[in-house]
Amino acid sequence: MMSDLLTVRGLTLATPDKVLVEGLSFSIAPGERFGLIGESGSGKSLTSLAVTGLLAPSIRPAGSITLAGKEIIGAPEKRLVRMRGDAVATVFQEPLTALDPLMPLGRQIAGPVRRRLKRKGQEAGRVAVAREVRSLLELVRLPEPERLIRSYPHEVSGGQRQRVAIAMALACQPRLLIADEPTTALDVTTQAEIVRLITSLVEELGIALLFISHDLAVVGQVAESVMVMRDGRMIETGPAEQVLTRPEDSYTRSLVAAARRFDEALEGQP
Amino acid sequence: MSAESTELPRRRRRGNATFWLGLILVGGIVLAGIVSFFWTPYALSDMAGGRLEAPSAAHWAGTDRLGRDLFTQLMIGARIALIVGCGAVAIGAVIGVATGILAAFATRFLDDALAAFFDILIAFPTLLIAMLVVAAREEASLGTAILALGIGLSPIVGRITRILTKQVLGQDYITAARVSGTSWGAIVYWHILPNIVPFLGVNLALQFGLAVMAEASLSYLGLGAPPPNASWGRMLQEAQGTVYTAPWGAVLPGLALFALVIGINLLADGLRDRFDPARRDG
Ligand SMILES: Nc1ncnc2c1ncn2[C@@H]1O[C@H](COP(=O)(O)OP(=O)(O)OP(=O)(O)O)[C@@H](O)[C@H]1O
Ligand SMILES: [Mg+2]
């Protein structure tokens, strides 16, 4: 469809001696929440890096990725820099290492805020940026913004760090947010909070979401459509409700059955 | 939890003692260097006393074989050591950090070439490189000595900068910064430099010590700052023939050199412990 925000056609990623992702095709419409499911090493992160044009130099992409109407594969770095942040932003798995250990959190959020204000030709002075940073902290529901702005990453909790990372991603006002296993490093209660936060924010702000996870239950909560990957290939794709309850492929069926058994085991506990 | 609460204060106290000792040593020498601009007990070339006098109330550090006051020379030597150390480290840091970061960012081929170049230069003693630069400039002067030592230090700084930069480049927060559209220039300025400086700083302090000692050696070889500059190295050279009859002439500049080099290193260690937020308890 022409109106899709992200269109991936026949994406193949390979190193000189190994094919890591092969013939992947999917698309995400503006505002759509798309889930990417697959076990560890199935190529989920590589796919998301390819979308942002951040693959390691040793990995050669083939096929086509169009984001907001522009081709990513083969695009010059200069255009990619402009496009990142403007069209797409990413939240990573491990918030401790995704934040600069030596920079106060407030300044880390201020960076993308300033760039976005400048790009849009708006006032980007200290006051304007500080106001924006504060409203972003409120948006991700972080308490005590004054203290947080001056804190370093190791001084706040894991959940708070991930909220800061989300604030940084939203600071760009992207049209597509990529969340690469954003809850794996967190404890179960915090996981649920972060998943709810991401879902409500993208809905509120009308941002499309590419949500990557190996946790079927979480993807089921978040995504409208899903794609299941294995060994770098697509196994099955379709509406989340259909794929996760009436899977057609045997691999997906085994995943769903395993998840169900796991849930039942949990519920069976006193 | 309990292990942390007993260990941190001890570590911090030790860090503090290191810091203060370093500050006293370096502070004393800096003070002597500054005061030397306005006041010295005698004029530098004033043959005010007898030859090779032992330390006394009139000549706190004794006199040399021409009867010149050694304390005066020590004060001026402090000034020169500091100027040489700061100047050489500044030049070495600018060249070294720039080439080190360039190498870390460069294509495989250029990176390998620069890395090999650093290693080859490091294989030559800093002093030898400095001597070649002085020889190329044809005349010995304080400025030439500083330039020579700075160039001599630069491959050491370059190599460590390259390694530190590569480590930082592999971190997730660099990918995170790139994915949010930060340009490479901004990434170097905001993320790479701040994250390599704590480690680089300690290394630069070591280089400062190296530079001051190398200047002493250059002077000792007659390639350093020419007279009337009284560097500690020149003092050592001049006291060479009279070590047994007037040992203070060699011992005192040697001690001053030692105090400055040790002091700088202690100070750098202490500063890093104080200002590195990742090491500071939260
Ligand atoms: N730079 C690289 N060079 C070569 N192979 C790579 C590189 N990065 C990743 N791979 C390989 O590509 C495969 C897919 O990796 P990817 O990180 O996309 O997995 P993933 O689905 O995100 O897994 P996880 O759930 O563990 O994050 C893995 O087998 C990995 O070893
Ligand atoms: Mg991954």
**Tens digit of pLDDT for each residue in B157-200?**
999 999 999 999 988 899 888 888 888 889 999 999 999 988 89
**Nearest bound ligand to the CA of residue A40:** 1
Q: Which atom of ligand 1 is nearest to the CA of A55?
A: 1
**Spatial distance between the Cα atoms of A142 and A163, rounded to a whole number of angstroms:** 7
pLDDT for the residue B3: 42
> Residue B229 above 60 pLDDT?
yes
Nearest to B173 among A52, A99, A152 (CB): A99
> Residue B123 above 90 pLDDT?
no
- Is A42 a domain residue? yes
Per-residue pLDDT of A68-102, as tens digits, reads 999 999 999 888 888 887 889 999 888 888 899 88
Cα B154–chain centre separation: 12
For chain B, what are the domain ranges? 98-282
Rounded to the nearest angstrom, the minimum Cα separation between B196 and chain A is 10
Q: Is the CB of A99 under 6 A from ligand 1?
A: no
Going from the Cα of A41 to the center of ligand 1, the distance in angstroms, rounded, reads 5
- pLDDT top residue among A211 and B67: A211
What CATH number is associated with residue A184? Answer: 3.40.50.300
- Is A154 a domain residue? no
pTM of the model: 0.78
> Residue A133 above 70 pLDDT?
yes
**Cα–Cα–Cα angle for A76, A77, A80, rounded to 5 degrees:** 95
Going from the Cα of A181 to the center of ligand 2, the distance in angstroms, rounded, reads 7
**Spatial distance between the Cα atoms of A82 and A77, rounded to a whole number of angstroms:** 9
pLDDT for the residue B12: 58
- Count CB-CB contacts under 10 A for residue A127: 8
Per-residue pLDDT of B192-206, as tens digits, reads 999 998 889 888 988
Q: Which residues of A touch B176 (CB under 8 A)?
A: 90, 92, 98-99, 165, 168
In terms of residue numbers, what domain contains A191? Answer: 6-96+176-267
pLDDT for the residue A42: 94
Q: Which atom of ligand 1 is nearest to the CA of A20?
A: 12
B98-282 topology per CATH: MetI-like fold (1.10.3720)
Strands in A208-213's sheet, in edge-to-edge order, are A88-91, A176-180, A208-213, A33-38, A225-230, A233-239
Task: Tell which of A100, A152, A170, A212 to mutate to test the B interface (max B CBs under 10 Å).
Answer: A100
Rounded to the nearest angstrom, the minimum Cα separation between B278 and chain A is 7
Say if residues B96 and B154 touch (Cβ distance below 8 Å).
yes
Q: How confident is the model at residue B129 (pLDDT cuts 50, 70, 90)?
A: confident
**Spatial distance between the Cα atoms of A197 and B184, rounded to a whole number of angstroms:** 31
Q: Does residue B4 belong to the interface with chain A, where contact is any CB pair within 8 Å? A: no
pLDDT for the residue B275: 65
In our burial notation (b when 16+ CB lie closer than 10 A, e otherwise), range B200-229 reads: bbbbbbbbbbbbbbbbbbbbbeebbbbeeb
**Spatial distance between the Cα atoms of B103 and B114, rounded to a whole number of angstroms:** 6
**Spatial distance between the Cα atoms of A98 and B221, rounded to a whole number of angstroms:** 53
Q: State how many domains chain A has.
A: 1
Per-residue pLDDT of A14-56, as tens digits, reads 999 999 999 999 999 999 999 999 989 999 999 999 999 988 8
- Is A121 a domain residue? no
- Is A231 a domain residue? yes
- Is A32 a domain residue? yes
Task: Tell which of A102, A103, A173 to mutate to test the B interface (max B CBs under 10 Å).
Answer: A102
Q: Which residues of A touch B172 (CB under 8 A)?
A: 92, 94, 97-98
Q: Is the CB of A182 under 6 A from ligand 1?
A: no
Residue A180, beta-bridge partner list = A212
